[in-house]
Structure formats: structure tokens, C-alpha cells
Amino acid sequence: MCTPSRMIVGISGASGVIYGVTLLKALRDAGIESHLVMSKAAELTLAHETELKPADVRTLADHHYPNADVGAAIASGSFRALGMAVAPCSVRSMSEIATGVTSTLLTRAADVTLKERRRLVLMVRESPFHLGHLRTMTALTEMGAVIAPPLPAFYPRPETVQEIVEHSVGRLLDLFGIDNALAHRWREV
């Protein structure tokens, strides 16, 4: 069975919506079909952190779904995809995914991704973590999720915030085996 070249992208309300926006652009550039779901909190954060409107972000995706539409295609295990990335991922979304008690399409799609044993990558955006956060991350890792906070690398000597964002998104794409030129490779020639 061939898995289609498509990926689910969730953008939650944590700070760092630019990671999700950059991911959508990178998927488009890589020829990967994207299926977007954004939380209401993500739309609010978008207004605080960028000049973009939710409609601008939706146009970057091949398909988008309202977060309240828990009956959308991406909420079903029969929806085949490479997996799902939540970029950024709030602690609330992370916690819902970990418990399986989901209240939105974003967390339901992530739960289904885990249930189907597909790759789920969570760019958790919080600091510092308390023990409950760390236990939740451990539980998710034991379930098969990858916890990948967007931590900057300085060996590429980034000159802009966007270069730092792109490196983290490139490393996320690496986790799905998607070729990209965003992540700088250590000592590769």
C-alpha cells in the first residue's frame, strides 16, 4: 500500500505560529499536499505575532478544516497521510492528545494519527516545563509521538529570526523523511 504524499498540519495557540506558516510553505515547495487545522487560539496568536490573517494562512494549505469539524476527513483513521505535525503545539493541545480526551479537530486528528501508528511530531512551545508537562511528554513518546520543541541551532550562524525558524522546520521535515534545504547539516559538504 502506497502512502500518499500528504501531511496534516495543526497550528495551536502557543506562541510561534510562524513555525506552522513556514511549515506550510515548505510542504508546498516539497510537493507535499497539506491539510490544515488551526485552533481559535492560533488565530488570536497569529494577530499578535504577525501581520497575517487566518485566511492568508489557509491559502498556504491545499485543504483546510474548521477546528470544530470533528467529522472532517482528517479525523478518520481511513485518511491516509505521512502523519501530522502540530507547529506550534500548546501544552493544552499536548495534554488533550496525551489523554485521548479530545475536544477539537486538531486534537482528534493527532489522536487518530497516533492510533494509526503514523508519525506525530509536536513542536511544544513552553518554557520552563513542570513535572506534569514532562510526564505528559513521556507518555506521548511512549505512545509513539515525537516531541520536538523548536530549539535554535547557532552553528549555522543565523542572521535573522526567519533563518532560526527555517532550521527548526527543516529538522521537523527531516523527521518525516522530506528532503529540504532549510536545515543546515553539521559538517556536511
Q: Helical H runs in 16-120?
A: 17-30, 40-49, 54-58, 91-99, 105-115
* pLDDT digits 0-9 by tens, 175-184: 999 999 999 8
Note if the pTM is more than 0.85: yes
Q: Does 3 have pLDDT greater than 90?
A: no
Confidence category of residue 1, pLDDT binned at 50, 70, 90 = low
How far is it, in rounded angstroms, from Cα 164 to Cα 57? 20
* pLDDT digits 0-9 by tens, 148-178: 999 999 999 999 999 999 999 999 999 999 9
Note down the domain range covering 138. 6-175
From residue 101, alpha-carbon distances to 33, 96, 97, 146, 156 in Å are: 28, 6, 7, 19, 40
Establish if 183 belongs to a structural domain: no
Establish if 185 belongs to a structural domain: no
What pLDDT was estimated at residue 189?
A: 47
In the β-sheet with 33-38, what is the strand arrangement from edge to edge? 63-65, 33-38, 6-11, 83-89, 119-124, 146-147
Establish if 157 belongs to a structural domain: yes
Establish if 182 belongs to a structural domain: no
Q: Does 107 have pLDDT greater than 60?
A: yes
Establish if 189 belongs to a structural domain: no
Give the CATH number, domain containing residue 147.
3.40.50.1950
Establish if 186 belongs to a structural domain: no
Establish if 47 belongs to a structural domain: yes
* pLDDT digits 0-9 by tens, 24-60: 999 999 999 999 999 999 999 999 999 999 999 999 9
Average model confidence (pLDDT) across the chain = 95
What pLDDT was estimated at residue 187?
A: 76
Q: Does 111 have pLDDT greater than 80?
A: yes
Establish if 168 belongs to a structural domain: yes
| Domains contained in the chain, number | 1
Q: Report residue 97 as a C-alpha cell.
A: 492528545
